[in-house]
Homo-oligomer: A and B are copies of this chain.
Amino acid sequence: MAVKSAGLPSIKTQNLPVSVKEEEKIVGIHFFGNMYEIDPAVATNKEFLEKVVLKAVDIAKMHLVERKAWAFGGKKGGVSVIALVTESHVALHTWNEYKYATLDIYTCGSDSDPKAAFDFVVENLKPKRHQIFYADRSM
């Protein structure tokens, strides 16, 4: 399995028996990370963030089932966008007062490219710095 981990910190949850064929197992790839110093005008823009997530779903070659976005007020308020895809889910949370956001792109199936989707979100949210981690969710 050619996991697109790009040399990131990885948590290997289980080694598969060698005899198991690629198409017979669940290939789960979960990229998650944090974005710092995002423009609050971006971090509060629910419509924009929803569009970014939807485009990221396309870029990752995931198949959208349903998505929803929510805006929260208050000191720790921000926006949440969650997309349920047939391959698992995408979740973006922002905290505008803290100019902070977290992103999870979790796909199952060897055809999707969650790393490209992660990069796309970062390019659009334009944090001054960000971190990305990788977890293998395969069985």
Contact = CB atoms under 8 A, between A and B. Distances in A.
How many copies of this chain are found per oligomer?
2
A4 interface: no
Interface in A63-120: 65-66, 68, 70, 72, 76, 80, 82, 84, 86, 88-89, 91, 93, 95, 98, 100, 102, 104, 106, 108-109
Contacts of A80: 65, 84, 88-89
Interface residues of A, number: 39
A55 interface: no
Contacts of A131: 13-14
Given A70-B84, A82-B84, A104-B104, A30 B28 contact: no
A137 to B, nearest CB: 5
A95 B34 contact: no
A139 B98 contact: yes
Given A91-B91, A95-B108, A104-B104, 13 more contacts: A13-B133, A14-B131, A26-B100, A65-B70, A66-B68, A66-B70, A80-B88, A80-B89, A82-B82, A88-B102, A89-B91, A98-B139, A102-B106
Interface of A: 9, 11, 13-14, 25-26, 28, 30, 32-34, 36, 65-66, 68, 70, 72, 76, 80, 82, 84, 86, 88-89, 91, 93, 95, 98, 100, 102, 104, 106, 108-109, 131, 133, 135, 137, 139
